[in-house]
Amino acid sequence: MILAAHQPNYLPWAGYFYKMARCDAFVFLDSVQYSRTSYTARCLIKGIRGKSQWLSVPVFKKGRYFQNISEVNIDNDSEWQKAHQRSLESCYSKAPYFRESSWLNDAAYKNKWDRLSLLNIELIKSIAVNLGVIPKFTNLSELNINSKSSELLIDICNKMSAQVYLSGPGGKKYLDEKKFKEAGIELRFVTYYPQAYPQLCGDFVPGLSIIDMLYNCGPQAVKRIVKADVL
């Protein structure tokens, strides 16, 4: 079994799903510490002036410096869902597949969400299913594992009976390959290279949320990109 894991980010980029399409099991790292500078509560979309802009979910942070992602509460007093819908309508209403992808708006904004992790995981799963990417999904908070760093991922693999751990290229900077080898787990790295695709408003901007690709290219084209070379 090939296993991958990642924090449940808000509407992540295509590289997130590219890695997911190459594993048999995917673990949402929902019980690791929340980082305020990460993509857990925000994503990048393309604005009407052709530049990237943040789409951020407001969360309660004051005095909550060491909370886990699963403990992060959304601040629903700001009517952020309506604001996000207006931003997406403004930026993408002329995109060829915007209306066809309206199910995304329903998944994100039809219901009230209290916990950030629950919102993100639901959105990620909805997008993955739409793309035909369906590994076995598990939340770290359900596995009763409290280790950290490389040991955490090794323990997850052992718990899930995985023989291979699939990491993004950033893992080369902090994962201890020797520990994986000693544990009998093969450590593999996969890199997603963004491909230029048609976008509204000027030159191609890489690194945006996958919704930019869905709105501009449609699910079938995105599926071919995300699942390229997957047997």
Q: What is the mean pLDDT of residues 206-214?
A: 96
Contact 185, 154 (CB under 8 A): yes
The model's pLDDT over 76-89, given as tens digits with 9 standing for 90+, comes to 998 999 999 999 99
In this structure, of 99-113, 139-153, 178-192, the range with the lowest mean pLDDT score is 99-113
Distance CA 131, CA 116 (A): 23
Distance CA 168, CA 227 (A): 16
Would 123 be classed as within a structural domain? yes
Would 231 be classed as within a structural domain? no
Q: 144: which residues sit within 8 A by CB, 6+ positions away? A: none
Would 97 be classed as within a structural domain? yes
The model's pLDDT over 45-70, given as tens digits with 9 standing for 90+, comes to 999 999 999 999 999 988 788 899 99
β-pairing verdict for 52-56 and 42-46: antiparallel
Split into its structural domains, the chain has a count of 1
Would 211 be classed as within a structural domain? yes
Range of the domain at 20: 2-226
Would 32 be classed as within a structural domain? yes
- pLDDT of 231 reads 47
